[in-house]
Chains A and B, each alone.
Chain A
Amino acid sequence: MPATNETLTALEAVLQGLETSEFRGDTRATVPRESLAEVLRLLRDRRGFDLLVDVTCVDYLNYRDARDRFGLVYLLANTTTNERITLRVYVGESDPTIPSAVPLWEGANWLEREVYDMFGIVFEGHPDLRRILLPDEFTAFPLRKDYPLQGRGERHNFPVLRREEG
């Protein structure tokens, strides 16, 4: 179910000139980075968005009319009214930091760790921001578009065991 008018009014009360759009029954809103924490708290506490469905990221490198390098996507749902909303936040390459949603939804922990692992977005206030899928020694962020598909030789960087060495 798309976001209700009450939700959009509540958002517009804190964000003047809020950009919203609707596509096939899904409401999308673009939120500036500074007000993300406030907006998330408002949606959870006052509008009943009790479920953080997903946190993910898009790299807009070489993308036409891109507003900034990265676009973070927050999918929220209200499990009593089935109301859903998608928030999009743009962050730049030079300072890819954003406030963490873990204080609001405990489930954001591993979602944000995955975004950090793949894109290098730093979530401020995250209790345990480590890599989640890749080895700890990995030095790059492989889902960034400027990272080569076949890597930079990480997959070949292991000791070789020979037959005579047992």
Chain B
Amino acid sequence: MAIELPENVVVSKLDELASWCRKNSLWPMPFATACCGIELMATGASRHDLARFGAEVFRFSPRQCDLMIVAGRVVMKMLPVLQRIWQQMLEPKWCISMGACASTGGVFDTYCVVQGIDRFIPVDMYVPGCPPRPEQLIQAIIDLQDKIQREGTITGREFGLAARQQTKRALVELPIISGAPVLSSITR
């Protein structure tokens, strides 16, 4: 038995519809620490117009965001902050590592600069460049949208184990280097 559908009706799976909604309403969290942040702002501004891809709502509270864009180098003192913000973001969430410094440490191969944020938090997309042009960031967001669409909601991470939910609730201080008082190690 064939069902007649009007021309303006599309049939889809609920899963695909949910993914479609998700991918077109990304709310970025701008974690901008260096010159990549300027390009990030340019991406959001009128010329490059991130609103075309539904990702223009930059929020400075991690609890309102689902896409973290790390733009710039992350140093030792900043990494615990980055991890805390990542943990405060609600599922489902994604992360873009923008630029050479966030992805690999870039030219800053020194004692205090983290050599790639993907060592310590999960990253979905890497954007090369120093700094990348807004077009590159837009490309990364388009690719991320494809990934979100493919991923679907059935395997959605937000429906995960209860244990994981508890981990999130029990968000505590992140220890950096244990022990070692500072004043007693003067001769080192």
Contacts and interface: CB of A to CB of B under 8 A. Distances in A.
Contacts of B114: 155-156, 158
A143 to B, nearest CB: 10
B67 to A, nearest CB: 15
A16 interface: no
Contacts of B115: 155-156
Given A134-B77, A134-B112, A149-B110, A161 B86 contact: yes
A158 B79 contact: yes
Instruction: Give the size category of B's interface with A.
Output: 35 or more
A154 B177 contact: yes
Interface string A119-146: 0101000000111001111111110000
Nearest to A117: B182
Nearest to A165: B167
Contacts of B47: none
Nearest to B158: A166
B91 to A, nearest CB: 7
B159 interface: no
B109 A139 contact: no
A166 B167 contact: yes
* A134, A156, A161 — most chain B CB neighbours (10 Å): A161
A136 B65 CA distance: 31
B182 to A, nearest CB: 6
Contacts, number: 100
Interface in B31-80: 76-77, 79-80
A137 B174 contact: no
Interface in B110-125: 110-115, 119-122
B177 A166 contact: no
Contacts of A130: 182
A150 interface: yes
A139 B185 contact: yes
A161 B164 CA distance: 12
Nearest to A148: B111
Contacts of A164: 157, 160-161, 164
B110 A137 contact: no
A166 B166 CA distance: 10
Contacts of A149: 109-111
A120 B112 contact: no
Interface of B: 76-77, 79-80, 83, 86-87, 91, 109-115, 119-122, 157, 160-161, 164-165, 167-168, 174-178, 180, 182-183, 185-188
Q: Return the 6 tightest CB-CB contacts between A and B, nearest first.
A: A151-B111, A137-B177, A166-B168, A163-B122, A139-B180, A161-B121
Given A161-B83, A164-B161, 13 more contacts: A93-B187, A139-B188, A142-B112, A149-B110, A158-B114, A159-B83, A159-B175, A163-B157, A165-B167, A166-B157, A166-B160, A166-B164, A166-B167
